């Protein structure tokens, strides 16, 4: 029989009351610093831990699992599990959870917001007004482009990609998509689209999918939006494409390295909107998102059936 109370390590402080519900039944330690726990801090806690709640910033690999002989469950509060070695966990009999369906609508909202933000030059306009440069009205001042009536190509047509498509019907957009299950070829989508929005999972096959050749196939008036995973887009190629005018600009919420390094060229790249991985960051989304992850740990530690990891 499982002991009544077990030790759970939560790698970041979470909003809402979900942690209190978990702490009512188990011994919970929460990492409260602003930055993620360093590797040595994470490793130091593993020998005593039965449950681990991780974030995308935490590398949960075979080494970490081997340092945790008492570990019974891993819950990753993210749509994906890019940071978890699922194969290693499976080999050790460790269930791995994520929260795939919780943030579909929240992320889809942000994808459309980035399309509007970059095409209508919202951040540039905000900076223009705040800097006191708005002294008169000029016909070509901060000239933008319309989303309504545009052709939008969706790369990856799962839950979030389909949710984006539903929103775009209200803008009278022509929606193209490409995915493992059908749609148009990627080359055609890139060639025809005024906006290309990335929603495919990060896999060995999709890493670097939007690289130099893909960007060159896009219209010079087109915008790239990525709310999926940073490494799907070749950042070096993207920076070069925007600087050269190969594409008109980009709206990004995800990056190869997060937080984005202070010296990263994207920080000073014109015609871009860059946000700090806000895809899931809403009050409503947080309550459900973190609640599901914590409830998974509670259930697994109580010996309940394991919810299957979903892509």
| Residue of 188, 212, 258, 295 with catalytic role | 258
Do 116 and 251 lie in a common domain?
Answer: yes
Do 69 and 164 lie in a common domain?
Answer: no
pLDDT tens readout for residues 117-140: 999 999 999 999 999 999 988 888
Structure confidence at residue 200 as a pLDDT band (50, 70, 90): very high
Does residue 308 belong to any structural domain of this protein?
Answer: no
Tokens of 45: 């806690």
Q: What is the pLDDT of residue 286?
A: 61
Q: Which sign does the torsion angle of CA 93, 37, 274, 104 carry?
A: positive
Does residue 306 belong to any structural domain of this protein?
Answer: no
Do 249 and 297 lie in a common domain?
Answer: no
Q: 172 by DSSP, 3-state: which?
A: coil
Instruction: Give buried/exposed letters for 22-31 (b at 16+ CB in 10 A, else e).
Output: bbeebebeeb
d(CA 54, CA 61): 12
Do 118 and 225 lie in a common domain?
Answer: yes
Tokens of 187: 């080359």
| Residue of 199, 217, 277, 292 with catalytic role | 277
Q: What is the pLDDT of residue 138?
A: 84
Is it the case that residue 268 has pLDDT exceeding 70? Answer: yes
pLDDT tens readout for residues 164-196: 999 999 999 999 999 988 999 999 999 999 999
| Residue of 121, 199, 229, 292 with catalytic role | 229
Do 175 and 116 lie in a common domain?
Answer: yes
Tokens of 27: 């011994």
Q: Which residue stretches of the chain are H helix?
A: 18-23, 39-45, 62-66, 86-91, 104-119, 122-130, 159-169, 186-192, 212-217, 235-244, 283-301
Phi, psi of 54 (to 5 degrees): -115, 165
Do 50 and 156 lie in a common domain?
Answer: no
Is it the case that residue 311 has pLDDT exceeding 50? Answer: no
Split into its structural domains, the chain has a count of 2
Q: What is the pLDDT of residue 228?
A: 95
Query: Tokens 């002294």 identify what position?
Result: 135
CB-neighbour burial class of residue 16 (10 A; exposed 0-12, middle 13-18, buried 19+): middle
CB-neighbour burial class of residue 18 (10 A; exposed 0-12, middle 13-18, buried 19+): buried
Does residue 270 belong to any structural domain of this protein?
Answer: yes
Do 127 and 38 lie in a common domain?
Answer: no
Quick one: how many helices (H) and strands (E) in the chain?
A: 11, 12
Do 131 and 223 lie in a common domain?
Answer: yes
How far is C-alpha 9 from the chain's CA centre? Answer: 23
Q: 8 by DSSP, 3-state: which?
A: strand
CB-neighbour burial class of residue 125 (10 A; exposed 0-12, middle 13-18, buried 19+): middle
Does residue 137 belong to any structural domain of this protein?
Answer: yes
pLDDT tens readout for residues 223-234: 999 999 999 999
Q: Is 25 among the catalytic positions?
A: no
Q: What is the pLDDT of residue 35?
A: 86
Q: Which residues have C-beta within 8 Å of that of residue 178, sequence separation ≥ 6?
A: 153, 154, 155, 156, 157, 184, 185, 186, 189
Does residue 310 belong to any structural domain of this protein?
Answer: no
Query: Which residue(s) pair with 9 in the sheet?
Result: 29, 52
Q: What is the pLDDT of residue 81?
A: 82
Q: Is 199 among the catalytic positions?
A: no
Do 122 and 243 lie in a common domain?
Answer: yes
Do 182 and 253 lie in a common domain?
Answer: yes
Do 139 and 72 lie in a common domain?
Answer: no
Phi, psi of 210 (to 5 degrees): -95, 90
pLDDT tens readout for residues 68-103: 999 998 988 877 788 999 999 999 999 888 876 667
Closest CA to 202 of 239, 161, 156, 249: 156
Does residue 78 belong to any structural domain of this protein?
Answer: yes
Mean pLDDT, the chain, as a whole number?
Answer: 89
d(CA 246, CA 83): 32
pLDDT tens readout for residues 206-219: 999 999 999 999 99
Q: Is 159 among the catalytic positions?
A: no
Q: What is the pLDDT of residue 2?
A: 44
Does residue 311 belong to any structural domain of this protein?
Answer: no
Q: What is the pLDDT of residue 310?
A: 46
Q: What is the pLDDT of residue 275?
A: 97
197: domain CATH number? Answer: 3.40.50.720
Tokens of 121: 């030059």
Is it the case that residue 289 has pLDDT exceeding 80? Answer: no
Per-residue pLDDT averaged across 54-75, rounded?
93
Q: What is the pLDDT of residue 76?
A: 84
Residue 79 belongs to domain spanning: 7-101+284-301
Does residue 168 belong to any structural domain of this protein?
Answer: yes
Do 261 and 249 lie in a common domain?
Answer: yes
């Amino acid at each position: 029989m499982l002991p009544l109370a077990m030790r759970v390590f939560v790698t970041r402080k979470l909003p809402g009351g979900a942690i209190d519900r978990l702490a009512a039944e188990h011994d919970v330690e929460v990492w409260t610093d602003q930055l993620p726990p360093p590797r040595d801090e994470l490793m130091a806690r593993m020998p005593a831990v039965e449950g681990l709640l991780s974030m995308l910033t935490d590398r949960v690999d075979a080494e970490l699992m081997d340092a945790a002989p008492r570990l019974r469950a891993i819950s990753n509060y993210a749509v994906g599990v890019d940071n978890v070695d699922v194969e290693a966990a499976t080999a050790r009999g460790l269930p791995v959870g994520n929260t795939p369906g919780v943030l579909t609508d929240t992320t889809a909202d942000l994808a459309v917001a980035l399309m509007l933000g970059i095409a209508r030059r919202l951040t540039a306009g905000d900076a223009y007004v705040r800097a006191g440069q708005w002294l008169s009205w000029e016909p070509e001042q901060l000239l933008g482009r319309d989303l309504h009536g545009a052709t939008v190509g969706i790369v990856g047509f799962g839950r979030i990609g389909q949710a984006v498509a539903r929103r775009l019907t209200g803008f009278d957009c022509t929606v193209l998509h490409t995915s493992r299950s059908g749609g148009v070829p990627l080359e055609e989508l890139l060639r025809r689209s005024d906006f290309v929005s990335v929603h495919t999972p990060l896999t060995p096959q999709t890493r670097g999918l939007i690289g130099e050749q893909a960007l060159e196939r896009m219209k010079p008036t087109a915008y790239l939006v990525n709310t999926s995973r940073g490494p799907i887009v070749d950042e070096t190629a993207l920076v070069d494409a925007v600087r050269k005018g190969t594409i008109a600009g980009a709206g990004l919420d995800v990056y190869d390295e997060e937080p984005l390094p202070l010296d990263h060229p994207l920080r000073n790249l014109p015609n871009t909107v860059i946000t700090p991985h806000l895809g899931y960051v809403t009050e409503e989304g947080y309550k459900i998102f973190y609640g599901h992850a914590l409830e998974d740990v509670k259930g697994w530690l109580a010996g309940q059936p394991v919810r299957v990891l979903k892509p």
